[in-house]
Structure formats: C-alpha cells, structure tokens
Amino acid sequence: MFTGAGSTADTDGYTLRERNVPIDIKITDNTRLGELTASMRSSIQRVLRAEIPKKAAEIRTRTQSGQSIEGGGFAGYSAKYAAAKRKALGSSSPVNLTFTGKLLGGIRSEVQGIEAKITIDDEELARIHQTGDGVPARPFFGLSREQIRDLVEKIRNAVFRQ
C-alpha cells in the first residue's frame, strides 16, 4: 500500500494517499501482493530513487508556471501584496509563489528503502498557502492525479516485469 496527501489513487492493489505537508509515500506488504520479495523491493526502490526527485521538480515547475496541483491558476494576490511585488520586481503577475524563492527553494525529496518523502522546509508557510489560512488557498504542494497514476504505473511495471 502507498500512503502519503489530499488525493488518492488505487491501481491493482496499490494505493497512494497524500496529506497536505509533507508528501509521504510508504509501500508496505499488501494482501493482493503477499510478501514483497527482495527483488520487488529493489525494483520499487529503483523507481522511487528515479522518480521522486522528478516529482519534486515537477511541483516546483508547475508552481512557477502559476498552476495549482490539478492545473488551475492560483487566486490573485491582495492589492497590498501585489503593489509590494510590483515595486520590488517590476511586475506582480503571475501568481506563482516565487517572490522570495524561499517556498519553492525549500522543496526536498528523500527515498529510504521503499518509503519516499517530498518535504518543504517552511511547512507553516506551505500550509498557509495550501489551506488558505489568512490568504486565498493556493494548493501547490502535492501530486496531481496524473502524477500519482504515472508513479503507480511505473512501480507496477517495475515489480511485475520481474
């Protein structure tokens, strides 16, 4: 089973769930699979090591382009914040959460065995933007349904091509 933030995918006995922060991906023995063999674990580990850093980079790239997790644009900046950004950078568009670079620059990925995490250094700032606590919600930190399906498919292919 994959457990991890907001969206869920279930494919051939694999399930990936995401919480808001951090994104945790844990693969455990599943009754449909029985015991994971050493070869299966090795295959899963190879996929996670290759794909989790890519998924973290995709979150950064998607957010920098002004797109939320599932592809919609972000809510606009307040007039006061837009004026400060315009003064500092000459522009306040698009909303892409990159004004200081702190938020997206703090996205990290880690793989240990058959568990993986995508974390962010400033979890509180991420939570504020993700949930809309005092600002409009701008859900950026997570994997889209398509990204989850892609990851599940790659793991499934690696495990069953043994």
Domain boundaries, the chain: 2-160
What value, to the nearest 5°, has the Cα angle with vertex 48 and ends 23 and 142?
Answer: 25
Instruction: Report the alpha-carbon distance of residue 78 to residue 148 in Å, rounded.
Output: 32
Specify the amino acid at residue 96: N
Write the CB contacts of 123 (distance below 8 Å, at least 6 apart in sequence).
21, 22
Q: How many residues does the chain have?
A: 162
Six token digits for residue 59: 């979150």
Q: Are 48 and 116 in contact (CB under 8 A)?
A: yes
Helix (H) or strand (E) holding 85: helix 79-89
Write the CB contacts of 155 (distance below 8 Å, at least 6 apart in sequence).
14, 27, 43, 44, 47, 48
pTM value > 0.75 = yes
One digit per residue, the tens of pLDDT, for the chain of length 162 reads: 233 344 444 444 444 444 445 667 766 555 455 567 888 888 999 999 999 999 999 999 999 999 999 989 999 988 888 888 888 888 777 899 988 889 999 999 999 888 899 999 999 999 999 999 999 999 999 999 999 999 999 999 998 875
